[in-house]
Amino acid sequence: MMPKIDTHDIATVPNFLTACRALAIPKLYNMMHDNPRENWWKAGLFAMSDNLDGILARQEDKRPGLAKFGFKRSELGRKLDPSVDVLFTSSMLVAGLKSRVIPKSIGFLSLAQKATKSTITLAAERKGIELQVTKAGKYSEFATNLGIGFMFAAENINNLVLKNIARIGAGTLALAGIGAAAFVTLDYSEKAGLLTHGTQSETLHYRNPEPSTSFPHPLHRPARREL
């Protein structure tokens, strides 16, 4: 029997905003792929809109009366919002890789980290474990996305020397964020019980057997007695 779906839990203002963001991703991907130099600021505004649906969802805590108008949290929104975030950042990475704005090393590392984190989150959900996003996780993702955003913005710098300096700084920031996010992902996997530590086997230390008196070592012959 299919579980009953609460339409009031789906039809919320934050969910509507999240759905609009999801529908806009293909168009934004084409814009960033074809002309990242002129459209990078649009991707920046889109990224900042991620905080808006969370602000609207938390209005039920400050103004409970707004909950009946759809300004409230929902189970669908809790799962949909991070999924749209991953879809957006991944599409921007692919667009940057294809347009050669983002180096392959940074792009593929970030995609691998995001895929691993998503897999761990899904595995935890199946086990009934809810992983709470930590501050370290938020800061690492922010650093990664900020570095990637600076790479797109650096395309507007005409001076080649300044452009390379900006790209190096942005790449360093992105790599630092990816590295920190990798450690956070490892912590998530431990909390989800996906990493098992095997028991260490006992090491037995045997003493060397006493040398046999019947077959002495040729280098250790007994001293000859003088007659």
HEC profile of 89-152: HHHHHHHHHHCCCCCHHHHHHHHHHHHHHHHHHHHHHHCCCCCCCCHHHHHHHHHHHHHHHHHH
Which of 1-15, 26-40, 67-81, 121-135 is predicted most confidently?
Answer: 26-40
Query: Do 47 and 107 share a domain, yes or no?
Result: no
| Same domain membership, residue 190 and residue 107 | yes
At 86, which amino acid appears? V
Do residues 117 and 188 share a domain?
yes
73 and 108 fall within a common domain: no
Does residue 157 share a domain with residue 118?
A: yes
Do residues 110 and 68 share a domain? no
Whether 109 and 151 map to the same domain: the answer is yes
Q: Is residue 213 part of a domain?
A: no
Check: CB of residue 172 under 8 Å from CB of residue 147: yes
In a domain, 212, yes or no: no
pLDDT digits (tens, 9 = 90+) for 21-76: 899 999 999 999 999 888 988 888 888 887 787 787 777 777 777 777 777 878 77
Reported as a pLDDT band with limits 50, 70 and 90, residue 114 is: very high
Q: Which residues contact 121 (CB under 8 A, 6 or more apart)?
A: 82, 131, 188
Q: Is the pLDDT of residue 227 over 80?
A: no
Rounded to an integer, what distance in angstroms lies between the CA atom of residue 93 and that of residue 90?
5
**Is the same domain home to 135 and 188?**
yes
**Structural domain of 145:** 102-194
| Dihedral angle sign, alpha carbons of residues 105, 111, 165, 173 | negative
Over residues 158-173, mean pLDDT? 95
Binned at pLDDT 50, 70 and 90, residue 221 comes out as very low
In the predicted structure, residue 209 carries a pLDDT above the cut 50: no
Which pair of structure tokens corresponds to residue 225?
């007695």
Same domain, 183 and 124: yes
Q: Which tokens in the block code for residue 167? A: 């790209």
Q: Is residue 59 part of a domain?
A: yes
Same domain, 143 and 180: yes
Query: Does residue 40 lie within any of the structural domains?
Result: yes
How far apart are alpha carbons 186 and 192 in whole angstroms?
10
Cβ atoms of residues 129 and 170 within 8 Å: no
Q: Is residue 87 in a domain?
A: no
Phi and psi at residue 210, to the nearest 5°: -65, 140
Shared-domain flag, residues 120 and 64: no
Q: Are the CB atoms for 53 and 65 separated by under 8 Å?
A: no
Within a domain: 22: yes
| Total domains present in the chain | 2
Q: Is residue 170 part of a domain?
A: yes
More confident residue, 192 or 101: 101
Residue 112 lies in a domain: yes
Q: Are residues 117 and 170 both part of a single domain?
A: yes
pLDDT for the residue 196 = 59
Average pLDDT, stretch 135-161?
A: 92
| Signed CA dihedral, 207, 210, 211, 215: sign only | negative
